[in-house]
Amino acid sequence: MTDPQQSSPADVEPAAPAQGKTTAPESANPPPAGAEPARPQTPLAPPRMDPVRKWVLIFAAFCLVLLAWYMAADRYTPFTTQARVNAFVVPIAPQVAGEIISVDVRTNQVVKKGELLARIDPARYQLAVAAAEAQLALTQQSLRVSSSTVDAARAALDAAKAALLKDTQNEARLKRIDADVPGAISQRNLETATLARVEREAQVRTAGANLQQAIEALGPRDAKNPQLLAARAALDKAQLDLQYTRLVAPNDGLVTDLRVDAGNFAATGQPLMTFVAVHKIWVEAALTENNLGHVKPGDAVDLVLDVWPDEPLRGRVRSVTHGVAGAESTSKPGALPTVQNQRDWLRNAQRFPVLIDFEDPAQAARLGARVGSQVNVLVYTG
């Protein structure tokens, strides 16, 4: 049994706090005996974002910014790697045939305009010139003879006219005497005078025809005479063929792809070597159609050659090609176009050549800008 004198725990006064120590105030409603003490309440923290979701959103925002930048750059600063260096490439082919007697250049040699490249045996062409000169001399001599023939025919005509005039006057005189003194002139004499006049008229007509024939055979007496023009043209052609036996450089440039040597036979129109105008080079860039909205002649261009990627060059847009042959076009006039049945969701963008000039072609050539070299192109529109 419990001692009535013993007080309950609730009646026991709380002990005084020790000196120098502080105690936390007790709760107004102390927890019941045997219960766990109450934990202090802390403010709730905001929920934390899932790291995966966070990085997905950052990546999506970055992609949107990148897409917007790409679309703007594609229109205002178009870029392409489909570009090559171009120049005028001329096959050196003889215009006359013959044996090659000398080749005066070597492969990849720089040449000047008019410099001798090769020579073809000129012997037969020299003979042709001599023959043409002789033919011209014969033609001139023949024209002089024809001119003399014309002069002789004209003189014969004048003589026939004078004789006709004399016979006509004699006939008129006899007829007048016979009219004044009938029977003074015999009928025989009158008939003879008339016959003489008629014969003279025939002679005049014949002389006139001979003169006309001589004039037509001679033609013009000046430099426009057809025979003289033909003879001079033959001489000019022979001299030109002789000149063609010397193959010379058409301009400043470089000779490459040399295929022959002395002793080979050169056929007309068959290339012997290739000439490249390396001092007149440009870039042909293939830009997509959606790149061309703001591109115009004069726009600045950055050019980076694959051979020297750390030395960009400057250029200017020369022109934009106005048309290309599409897959639907046909080369036969009057035929219907062939339509390609495309079933793809996406179609390839059409590309158009854009011609770009180097601001300093000498620097480009010095850095190794060869025909066919690949170039990265960046156009600044505006």
- pLDDT tens-digit series, residues 226-238: 888 899 999 999 9
Q: Does residue 15 or residue 174 have the better pLDDT?
A: 174
**Predicted confidence band at 278 (pLDDT cuts at 50, 70, 90)?**
confident
Domain 79-121+246-380: which CATH number of 2.40.50.100, 3.30.1280.10, 3.10.450.50, 1.20.120.550? 2.40.50.100
User: Which residues of the chain does CATH 1.10.287.620 include?
Assistant: 123-243
pLDDT tops 70 at residue 54: yes
Q: E strands within 194-346?
A: 246-248, 253-256, 265-266, 273-288, 300-305, 313-320
DSSP character string of 85-110: EEEEEEEE--SS-EEEEEE---TTEE
pTM: 0.61
Please state the rounded mean pLDDT for residues 150-174: 85
User: Which residues of the chain does CATH 2.40.50.100 include?
Assistant: 79-121+246-380
**Predicted confidence band at 90 (pLDDT cuts at 50, 70, 90)?**
very high
Q: Other CB atoms closer than 10 Å to residue 92's CB: what's the count?
A: 20
CATH class as words, domain 123-243: mainly alpha
pLDDT tops 60 at residue 199: yes
pLDDT at 24: 45
